[in-house]
Amino acid sequence: MEKMSLIIPCYNEEQSVTILYNEIDRVSRELPGYELEMLFVDDGSKDDTLKIVKSFAVRDPRVKYLSFSRNFGKEAAMYAGFCNASGSLVAVMDADMQDPPSLLPKMVKILESGQWDSVATRRVTRRGEPPVRSFFARMFYKVINKITDIEIVDGARDFRLMKRSMADAIVKMGEYNRFSKGIYGWVGFRTYWLPYKNVERAAGETKWNFWKLLLYSIDGIVSFSQMPLSVASFGGIALTVLSLLFVVFLVLRKLIFGDPVAGWASLACLITFIGGIQLFCMGIIGQYLAKTYLEVKGRPHYIIADTNDPDAKKVM
């Protein structure tokens, strides 16, 4: 029998894990050909998430849990899942039912057709999301698709089902600054896009705020594009040319009209303008430097403090 691993990152999800577990249990009966493995990755929850997951594990041998020593973030949790999933099919899904397990049988069918290596989901509506967040999300996808070579689909979720070969490739992508949507695109493989309507959280609340999302989007851009660095260099060149032209203009004006000393205001404006641009460009370089710094240190992505899997890779 083939094995299917479900990776479920959980951070303070005590209100939704039970709903999710019951739903997966129900859906598993529609997948008789597969042996299920549920990998609950507890990302340092401060509530009773781990306790609840442990209670599933006591009565259900299909449940494995990996509990982090602190909150490492969703990306680290997904990576821990990939490193420890043993199925020939691997799926990632949120704990809050926004990635409906009921789609799994359909996704499995698509993979079984043999034409595809992975089934990705894409929500076609952003119902239930604050309009400001939707607006910035759309902008982000426009920008990142313009400046990177990989395609990142607007509305793409992290919810995916993939074959072993793709999961292995993702484990090999050991970068510290992880941006899964980019990683999925980078490794390639034949991907089927399954559209579905946005579902609201079953319970609890979102762990993301505007600031976290902004930082995450910078992560995404810096991880997959060198375009900002080019913009900084070309901006510098353009400004240099412009200032040379300005010098020529000033000299000519002096020769033709004499020099009525004026223009303190314009000078002050120019200085602050150029100072601003310089700082901005240094900021861009700083972003890349900071990411490089973290990569070079080679710190582990996650540390597992508690698990029921004796073979778990505890520090990766």
Q: Are strands 191-196 and 118-123 parallel, antiparallel or unpaired?
A: parallel
Distance of CA 252 to the CA centre of its chain: 55
Strand partners, 191: 118
Smaller CB distance to Mg ion: residue 75 or 96? Answer: 96
Stretch that binds Mg ion, among 14-22, 25-33, 90-98, 113-121 (CB under 5 A): 90-98
Reading across the β-sheet that carries 304-307, which strands appear in turn? 191-196, 118-123, 156-163, 89-92, 2-10, 34-42, 63-68, 304-307
Number of residues near ligand UDP (by CB under 6 A): 16
DSSP 215: H
Task: Choose, by CB under 6 A, the member of 11, 82, 116, 184 that binds ligand UDP.
Answer: 11
Using CB under 6 A as the binding rule, whether residue 71 contacts ligand UDP is answered as yes
Using CB under 6 A as the binding rule, whether residue 181 contacts ligand UDP is answered as no
Residue 165 in contact with residue 191, Cβ under 8 Å? Answer: no
The contact mask relative to ligand UDP for 37-56 (x = CB under 6 A, - = no) is ------x-------------
Whole-number Cα distances in Å, 85 to 29, 120, 203, 262, 300:
21, 18, 27, 72, 18
Using CB under 6 A as the binding rule, whether residue 94 contacts ligand UDP is answered as yes
Residue 163 in contact with residue 89, Cβ under 8 Å? Answer: yes
Q: Which does 74 bind (CB under 5 to 8 A by kind): ligand UDP, Mg ion, none?
A: ligand UDP
Q: Nearest approach, Cβ of 35 to ligand UDP (angstroms)?
A: 23
Using CB under 6 A as the binding rule, whether residue 134 contacts ligand UDP is answered as no
Smaller CB distance to ligand UDP: residue 99 or 117? Answer: 99
CA distance 66 to 281: 41
Stretch that binds ligand UDP, among 6-14, 31-39, 258-266, 277-285 (CB under 6 A): 6-14
Task: Choose, by CB under 5 A, the member of 14, 42, 96, 158 that binds Mg ion.
Answer: 96
Query: For binding to ligand UDP (CB under 6 A), which residues are involved?
Result: 9-11, 13, 43, 71, 73-74, 77, 94-96, 98, 206-208
